[in-house]
Structure 1
Amino acid sequence: MVLTRYRPKDLKLARRHIVKAARRIAKQETIVKKLSLKGSSAGLAYELLGRLYDNQRQQLDRLKLIEAMVEVKA
């Protein structure tokens, strides 16, 4: 296992990534909603939305890890 030292700067960056991911998800949800209202096929849009959710979950897990490491160090 690789020992990584996290700094408050890393925590700030991870929080920004979470915000960006939330914006991407909101935008994609809007696209899916528009497609479903038009009656168009939204299969690919749903697949992308699923990947965005997975990405956000991974980023949240990383954020929790960084928060725990920074708090232990501080």
Structure 2
Amino acid sequence: MTSIDIDPDLLAQAKIAAGTRTTRETVELALRTLTAMHRQPAAVERIIAHRFADEQIHAPTIDYPLPGE
């Protein structure tokens, strides 16, 4: 267990923004989000550097209806 001092107003705002109920949920979501954001540029660079086969580039796609259509 880790004990940290968190600004209560900031925590309340974060809970609303994240839709979480507990401090633990909010902090864990924030940590997962920050970690994912940190890894994202490296993932994009790997995709850019990857050589795709023609059948991958011209693969068929599925058009999903937008909400409300």
TM range (shorter): 0.3 to 0.5
Which structure dedicates a bigger proportion of its chain to helix?
1
Q: Which of 1 and 2 has higher RCO (CA within 8 Å, sep 6+)?
A: 1
TM score, norm. by length of structure 2: 0.38
Q: Which has more radius of gyration?
A: 2
TM score, norm. by length of structure 1: 0.36
